[in-house]
Amino acid sequence: MTSNKIQFTGAKKIGLSLLLLLSVPTFLNAQERLRVDYEIMEYMQLKSNDDTASAAIGTVGNGTLKHAKLMPYKGKNFIYFDRDSYLAGRGFLHGSVRNSVLTTYDSLSRALPHRYFNIMECSNEHGGEMFPHKTHQNGMSIDFMMPLIKNNKPYYALDTIGATHYALNFDDDGKYTRDPSVSIDFNLVARKILLLDYFARQNGLNIFKVIIKIELKDELFATEYGKLLKASDIYVVQGLSPLINALHDDHFHIDFGHTYSKTPQAESTEPFDRVPVE
């Protein structure tokens, strides 16, 4: 099988998984996913990053990406959530976004050495449409899995289900509908968002927009770090279409922007659109 065929098959599979929004998670391959096997290593080597600065062209909803950088499949305290998605080439980012995210995880690993995180879908290597997402087109968007807790302890049993994670449902208080003893760790979500913005600014970026289910914002802002987030100038969406709203409960989405850069990249001067993206 050629690598093109693998990529095509993988992309199709992921797209279908997301589209169907399977409600029954499968726990097959849960442990398998944690292994960085030969195929993953070979892929990372094949796509190893060049030294040319990335260029985000256009907008998150209508754009492309040049000189993309691949997220590592796994780091000390994070892992990419779905092997097929990764091998289908959906884990690419603008280099400055990638650097901001990696520095954030480094910071989190020092502050919370036993807390682990999952990165969900990013962008294609050359950007452009990435079915079924409407955005994620220019390497400036990234989905982060919600960190969960159960009995005040980190809970990871839902982290290993791959693309079907997008279909998990949480109620308006952030409790997992199939097991309300499992809930979103909102304080950690807010803390991570603040760190991402802090390190993004060191890379000439900032968080342009956070997308999270509207009904969860109260819970998010009620936490210790959530209060800081609310007081910050980080924009958390105020309205979403019902479908997009319903999807952003198991993960939150961040669009990075160059808003605060003193020397915005020529390729990124097109203003981002703050209208809720569908």
Chain residue whose CB lies nearest Zn ion: 253
- C-beta of 136: minimal distance to Zn ion in Å? 6
Alpha carbon of residue 257 to chain centroid: 15
Q: Is 253 in the site for Zn ion (CB under 5 A)?
A: yes
CA gap 87, 43 in Å, rounded: 7
**List of residues 6+ apart from 145 with CB closer than 8 A:** 81, 117, 118, 119, 120, 159, 165, 250, 251
Tokens for 52, please give them: 């040319």
Q: 276 with 243: CB under 8 angstroms?
A: no
Q: How many residues bind Zn ion (CB under 5 A)?
A: 2
Task: Choose one: 58-66, 157-165, 196-204, 253-261; the region binding Zn ion (CB under 5 A).
Answer: 253-261
- C-beta of 110: minimal distance to Zn ion in Å? 27
CA gap 212, 144 in Å, rounded: 10
Contacting Zn ion within 188-227 (CB under 5 A): none
Task: Choose one: 47-55, 176-184, 213-221, 248-256; the region binding Zn ion (CB under 5 A).
Answer: 248-256
- C-beta of 154: minimal distance to Zn ion in Å? 23
- Among 218, 143, 148, 216, residue whose Cα is nearest residue 176: 148
Task: Choose one: 19-27, 84-92, 143-151, 153-161; the region binding Zn ion (CB under 5 A).
Answer: 143-151
Q: Is 94 in the site for Zn ion (CB under 5 A)?
A: no
Binding site for Zn ion (CB under 5 A): 143, 253
